[in-house]
Structure formats: structure tokens, C-alpha cells
A and B are shown apart, each in its own frame.
Chain A
Amino acid sequence: DGGITQSPKYLFRKEGQNVTLSCEQNLNHDAMYWYRQDPGQGLRLIYYSQIVNDFQKGDIAEGYSVSREKKESFPLTVTSAQKNPTAFYLCASRTGRGAGLGQPQHFGDGTRLSIL
């Protein structure tokens, strides 16, 4: 089945440690997105990418980094500079071509990151 896979489902980070969250899609989508969700809040955009080897900062990019070396993969690294990383992280993708602009984003099932 086509979809978006996020791994791991749960992740624990020690102080001063960088961790990487995986996001893979087999939907042949051009655009990919990373969001952060805190309890009782909506989603906030961290980074997004419209094409391979290109990405832009969202509203809360500080302390995070991404890469887009392959169309199907968009990993997110939470660096030690992110002082409050405990949250639920969601990855999404969407076709970015022509009529596809009217198509919604498809979401993975998320990774829950906690601080040890």
C-alpha cells in the first residue's frame, strides 16, 4: 500500500544529543513537510521541501535541520540547540504538480520524542 512511514514511533533523547527522525513515502509525491504538535495545540511547520535537494524553513526551524537527497525521503534532525524538543512530530507529503495543487497533504503516524 502507498503511504508515509515514520520511524521510530517513540524516541528518547539525552541532553546534548542529536537525534534523527525518519520519514519515507512511496506515493511519488514531490512536496514533503515536517510539523511539530504540542499537547492541546495545533501543528506548527518546521521545514518543507518542494523538490529534491531544496528545502525551506517553516515557522519554528530553529534547532532543527533536514535534508532531501531523495524524492522519497525527508529526515529531520533534532539538534542539541533545540531546548524543548519534547513533542509529537508529524511528516506529510503532497503531490506538487499542476492539478495536484488542489490535493491535500497525506500524513504519517508520527514520532513521539521525549527527553531522558
Chain B
Amino acid sequence: KQEVTQIPAALSVPEGENLVLNCSFTDSAIYNLQWFRQDPGKGLTSLLLIQSSQREQTSGRLNASLDKSSGRSTLYIAASQPGDSATYLCAVGLDSTDKLIFGTGTRLQVFP
């Protein structure tokens, strides 16, 4: 059974730092891996989606990598800003129906 783990559970950093959030999964037979952002009391916003055949995706200050063989993905946030404060969730897509298995998230706080 696929399990997704995110480390650390919480992170507090000063503005301007470069950050790495970690996601690990137990079964390398995945369809895709997705990173989402969740603000308090809100739904999820998609940040990056990496297909199983890809190694990384970039959007602005965000870069996500995927290493299926080791069961790991990282989300890199460059030059963090207070507006980046949120919970970041990674999710593994099991097949083309896009059933997702979510990690428990990393709660990020960026202070000025």
C-alpha cells in the first residue's frame, strides 16, 4: 500500500531563505507526483505536477524534482517571502484516474 511522508512537519524561516521541503513515498510505481499549497481554511492550489517520466518541473521560484527509484521528491522554494506561508502538500497519483495519496503536509511560516 502506497504511503506518503513529508518532512519536516513544520518549518519557520526568515524572509529570503532558500527552502527544501521533502516528500517520500513507499512504492515507486507512480503515475505522477503533485505539489499543492493550502492556505488556512481553504482548498488546495496546484503548484507543480511531475509526470512519472519526468525528473523535475519549474514554475517561477519553485522547482520540484522526482526520483522514483529512491521514492523521493523535493520542493525547492527560492528567496522565500512572507506570502509563501502556507501548508505544502505532496500527493502521489496512482494511475490515469488520478486517484491521489496525500502526505500530511509541511506547515511553512516565513517571517519578515
In this complex, the interface size class of chain B, counting residues with CB under 8 Å from chain A, is 20 to 34
A31→B45 contact, CB < 8 A:
no
Q: Which residues of B have CB within 8 Å of A6?
A: 43
Question: Chain B interface secondary structure, helix, strand, loop or mixed?
Answer: strand
Q: Is A90 an interface residue (CB 8 A)?
A: yes
Query: In the complex, which residues of chain A have a beta carbon less than 8 angstroms from the beta carbon of B45?
Result: 107
Instruction: Tell me if A's interface is mostly helix, strand, loop or mixed.
Output: strand
Chain B proximity of A30: nearest CB distance (Å): 11
Report B-chain residues with C-beta under 8 Å of the C-beta of A109: 41-43
Do B44 and A107 touch (CB < 8 A)?
Answer: yes
Interface residue A16 (Cβ < 8 Å from any Cβ of B): no
Q: Verify B97–A90 contact, CB threshold 8 A.
A: no
| Complex contact A106–B99 (CB within 8 A) | no
The verdict on A90 contacting B98 (CB below 8 Å), with A40-B104, A42-B105 known, is no
**Interface mask (A95-116 → B, CB under 8 Å = 1, otherwise 0):** 0100001111111111010000
Given A58-B99, A109-B41, 8 further pairs, Cβ under 8 A: A31-B98, A33-B100, A48-B97, A104-B49, A105-B100, A107-B36, A107-B44, A110-B43
